[in-house]
């Protein structure tokens, strides 16, 4: 029998960071993960350089960059451990990084530098803390025991034998990328102990289309361009201006990944292929002095492949711009500025960067991430119903929720 103060299930971003902070605060920790490789999702993220946070994040307004039933829940953790705090940790360890786009910070060399830093943090305890890292090691059962003849505790059955622990942290992540070990374990544990789980779904994922409806674009695979993309639910519209990548099956790239988190089945998307440009007025102005083909004029603003696909089977637009009626120019401008496309699905958890939904925040303490109804049981990171935008927000939620949890555990357990 192994005994510990804390059992952390999942050695990804949240679990690994939480383990390091816990043992630095003097707690005895067992960290386990069934997958053979440590923090594999960190390693493959950001093209192998890991977009580990976003320096432009406003921690006091999480609704701006996070979604879920109650994104404001994240404020407490995000304010107490900020992007700047994590950057300071990177600086302490000499891990080089750079800003790439809109506040997104990436490792200069490799995401392995970040993983190595987190592992070092797990080895730097100075207050009597201890950490046992078991990997690969699967959890088979978890039970809670609260009797008059013993202190309340959890008993975990694992590949390496039983563990008796005073608290359990579930940091199992979501269902995204099963090829690197994602499972529904965290959701099953939440359900076992009576916590509500918001229905999970793939997020930050490419969108797919029915073959016939995508026929117009299927030959444009690999084409990328900046667009404005919008989806609407009821009275609420969400808009992103990002690069969109056309694939043989549908839409990918930052614009598609961002909007996918807000898109619901049966909804259409509205794409503006020329954001910020008053195309209707520009075409009418060009008509006054140009005799070029309309398609040639459009190719000055849009990739020629897209222009050709757009004008195909539209004889009213196969003319010189000065011979094209204003009504036809207006119709063309409208079609490019408000293009309606209806996805038939996504590429699913296999390709999704994160999982939306998860353990309901109404079940958890905002300060410590502890279950309100099950003392000593905590949920952090992606397994919780807090999902960030593309651009480092989900990693920051992992760091912040893990830190809040570790502080709460130390305060609770060191007093007992």
For residue range 299-344, list pLDDT tens digits in order.
999 999 999 999 988 888 999 999 999 999 999 999 999 999 999 9
Contact 141, 154 (CB under 8 A): no
Q: How far apart are CA 15 and CA 32, in angstroms?
A: 9
Return the residue matching tokens 């930052």: 254
Q: In Å, how far from its chain's centre is CA 186?
A: 17
Inform me whether the pLDDT recorded for 416 exceeds 60: no
Report how far apart, in Å, the C-alpha atoms of 341 and of each of 221, 263, 274, 336, 348 are: 16, 12, 16, 12, 19
Indicate the domain borders of the chain: 2-202+353-413, 225-346
**Sequence-distant (≥ 6) Cβ neighbours of residue 47 within 8 angstroms:** none
Q: How far apart are CA 248 and CA 209, in angstroms?
A: 10
- The H or E element that residue 236 is part of is strand 236-246
Q: How far apart are CA 239 and CA 241, in angstroms?
A: 7
Q: What counts of helices (H) and strands (E) characterise the chain?
A: 12, 21
* Residue 389 DSSP code: P
User: Hey, what are 399's tokens?
Assistant: 């760091």
Higher pLDDT, 393 or 315: 393
Q: How far apart are CA 184 and CA 162, in angstroms?
A: 22
Q: What is the mean pLDDT of residues 239-256?
A: 97
Collapsing DSSP states into helix, strand and coil, what is residue 416? coil
pLDDT per residue over 45-88, tens digit each? 999 999 999 999 999 999 999 999 999 999 999 999 999 999 99
Collapsing DSSP states into helix, strand and coil, what is residue 104? strand
Q: How far apart are CA 214 and CA 191, in angstroms?
A: 40
pLDDT per residue over 127-165, tens digit each? 778 999 999 999 999 999 997 667 899 999 999 999 999
pLDDT the model gives residue 313: 85
CB atoms within 10 A of CB 229: 28
Contact 258, 322 (CB under 8 A): no
CB atoms within 10 A of CB 380: 34
3-state secondary structure 260-308: HCCCCCCCCEEEECCCCCCHHHHHHHHHCCCCCEHHHHHCCCCCHHHHH
pLDDT the model gives residue 236: 87
Instruction: Kindly report the length of the chain.
Output: 416
Contact 86, 405 (CB under 8 A): no
pLDDT the model gives residue 414: 84
Angle, CA of 113, 114 and 117, to the nearest 5°: 90
Q: How far apart are CA 111 and CA 113, in angstroms?
A: 5
User: Hey, what are 31's tokens?
Assistant: 């960290």
Superfamily of domain 2-202+353-413: FAD/NAD(P)-binding domain (3.50.50.60)
Higher pLDDT, 414 or 113: 113
Beta bridge partners of 139: 158
pLDDT the model gives residue 127: 74
pLDDT per residue over 190-240, tens digit each? 999 999 999 999 999 999 999 998 998 989 999 999 999 999 988 889 999
Average pLDDT across the chain, whole number = 95
Angle between the N-to-C axes of helices 111-121 and 83-92, in degrees from 0 to 180, rounded to the nearest 10: 90
- The H or E element that residue 186 is part of is helix 185-192
Beta bridge partners of 4: 165
pLDDT the model gives residue 58: 95
- Which contacts (CB < 8 Å, 24+ apart) does range 275-280 have? 275/226, 275/227, 275/228, 275/241, 277/301, 279/332, 279/333, 279/336, 279/337, 280/329, 280/330, 280/333, 280/334, 280/337
Q: What is the mean pLDDT of residues 256-266?
A: 96
Angle, CA of 28, 30 and 34, to the nearest 5°: 170
């Amino acid at each position: 029998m192994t005994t510990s103060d804390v059992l952390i299930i999942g050695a990804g971003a949240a679990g690994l960071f939480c383990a390091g902070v816990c043992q630095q605060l003097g707690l005895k920790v067992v960290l386990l993960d069934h997958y053979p490789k440590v923090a594999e999702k960190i390693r493959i993220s950001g093209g192998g350089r890991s977009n580990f946070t976003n320096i432009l994040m406003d921690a006091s307004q999480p609704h701006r960059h996070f979604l879920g039933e109650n994104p404001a829940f994240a404020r407490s953790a995000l304010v107490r451990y900020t992007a700047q705090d994590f950057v300071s940790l990177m600086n302490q360890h000499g891990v080089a990084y750079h800003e790439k786009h809109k506040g997104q910070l990436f490792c200069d060399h490799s995401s392995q530098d970040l993983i190595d830093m987190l592992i070092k943090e797990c080895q730097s305890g100075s207050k009597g803390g201890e950490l046992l890292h078991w990997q690969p090691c699967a959890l088979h059962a978890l039970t809670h025991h609260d009797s008059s003849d013993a202190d309340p505790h959890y008993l975990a059955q694992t590949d390496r034998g039983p563990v008796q622990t005073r608290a359990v942290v579930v940091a199992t992540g979501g269902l995204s990328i099963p090829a690197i070990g994602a499972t529904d374990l965290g959701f099953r544990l939440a359900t076992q102990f009576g916590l509500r789980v918001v229905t999970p779904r793939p997020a930050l994922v490419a969108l797919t289309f029915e073959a016939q409806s995508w026929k117009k674009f299927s030959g444009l695979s690999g084409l990328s361009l900046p667009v404005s993309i919008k989806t609407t639910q009821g009275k609420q519209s969400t808009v992103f201006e990002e690069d969109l990548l056309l694939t043989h099956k549908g839409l990918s790239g930052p614009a598609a990944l961002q909007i996918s988190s807000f898109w619901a089945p049966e909804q259409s998307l509205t794409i503006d292929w020329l954001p910020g440009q008053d195309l209707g007025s520009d075409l009418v102005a060009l008509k006054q002095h140009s005799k070029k083909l309309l398609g040639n004029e459009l190719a000055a603003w849009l990739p020629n492949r897209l222009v050709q696909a757009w004008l195909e089977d539209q004889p009213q637009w196969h003319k010189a711009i000065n011979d094209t009626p204003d009504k036809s120019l207006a119709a063309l401008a409208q079609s490019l500025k408000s293009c309606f496309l209806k996805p038939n699905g996504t590429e699913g958890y296999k390709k999704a960067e994160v999982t939306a939904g998860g353990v309901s925040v109404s079940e958890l303490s905002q300060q410590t991430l502890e279950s309100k109804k099950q003392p000593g049981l905590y949920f952090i990171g992606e397994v919780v119903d807090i999902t960030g935008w593309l651009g480092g927000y989900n990693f920051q939620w992992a760091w912040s929720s893990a830190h809040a949890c570790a502080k709460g555990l130390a305060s609770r357990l060191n007093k007992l």
